[in-house]
Amino acid sequence: MPKGMLVIISAPSGTGKSTLCRRLLQRRKDLRCSVSCTTRSPRPGERHGKHYFFLTREDFKRKIQRGEFLEWAVVHDEYYGTPRHFIDQQIKEGHDTLLAIDVQGAAAIRRKIPDAVLIFLVPPSMESLKERLAARRDSSESVAKRLANSRGELTAAKNYDYLVVNDDLERAVDQVEAILTAERLRTSRQELRELAPHAA
């Protein structure tokens, strides 16, 4: 069985990464999604275990010490991390898995798993980024922090395999689906040995 492919999506906060991932998961029922741990407080409507595992700083640090994260990083002054066990299992079982993580996390994954697919999502403009952050009703402090960090995050885009503009949501989802389809068709991800034993 071919092993699962890791698909990393990063974007400045407020670009629409969570919205795009939700839509993509509705369309691609075969895709799995990693649920991260974080020390930030839940936003209205966010549920423990569905959107994030919301942990205290003590619990998070304990998990770091036990090596339970594939990667972790401090983003906007809070801890975020990808649970290692879930990802190992999905890869082994052949499930393609989506991770919506920041640029530090993406760089760490690239070092550990070089064939992960890295997609960077950008807003159509800084003005629309501000509007989207405001629409989410984040506090003004949180909006300011996220906007200030967005410039540094945008410079990391060059390290990604693909750049997608989230202007029209459905078009952006179409483009990400096209990337997934092409990446799955890579010779290196297919079991050539079974199809043509002499060519492998």
User: Is residue 73 within the footprint of ligand 5GP (CB under 6 A)?
Assistant: yes
Report how far residue 171's alpha carbon sits from residue 181's, in angstroms, rounded to the nearest whole number.
15
Q: Is 150 in the site for ligand 5GP (CB under 6 A)?
A: no
Residues numbered 158-177 forming contacts with ligand ADP, rule: CB under 6 A = 166, 169
For the segment 130-149, give every residue that binds ligand ADP (CB under 6 A). 132, 135-136
**Nearest to ligand ADP of 61, 136 (CB atom):** 136
CB closer to ligand ADP, 85 vs 171: 171
- The entry of ligand 5GP, ligand ADP, none near residue 101 (CB within 5 to 8 angstroms by kind) is ligand 5GP
Contact partners, residue 9, CB within 8 Å, separation at least 6:
17, 20, 21, 98, 99, 100, 101, 119, 120, 121, 176
Stretch that binds ligand 5GP, among 72-80, 154-162, 172-180, 190-198 (CB under 6 A): 72-80
List, as own/partner pairs, every contact residues 56-62 make where C-beta atoms lie below 8 angstroms and the sequence separation is at least 24, other chains included: none
**Which tokens hold the place of 90?**
């999905």
DSSP β-bridge partners for residue 52 = 48
Interacting span for ligand ADP (CB under 6 A) from 16-24, 91-99, 105-113, 186-194: 16-24
The maximal CA–CA distance of the chain, rounded, in angstroms, is 62
* Integer Cα distance of 163 and 118 in angstroms: 9
Token pair in block for residue 151: 């410039």
Binding mask 104-123 for ligand 5GP (x = CB under 6 A): xx------------------
* DSSP state at residue 98: E
**Residue 55 binds ligand 5GP, judged by CB under 6 A:** no
The footprint of ligand 5GP (CB under 6 A) covers 13, 36, 40, 71, 73, 75-76, 80-82, 100-102, 104-105
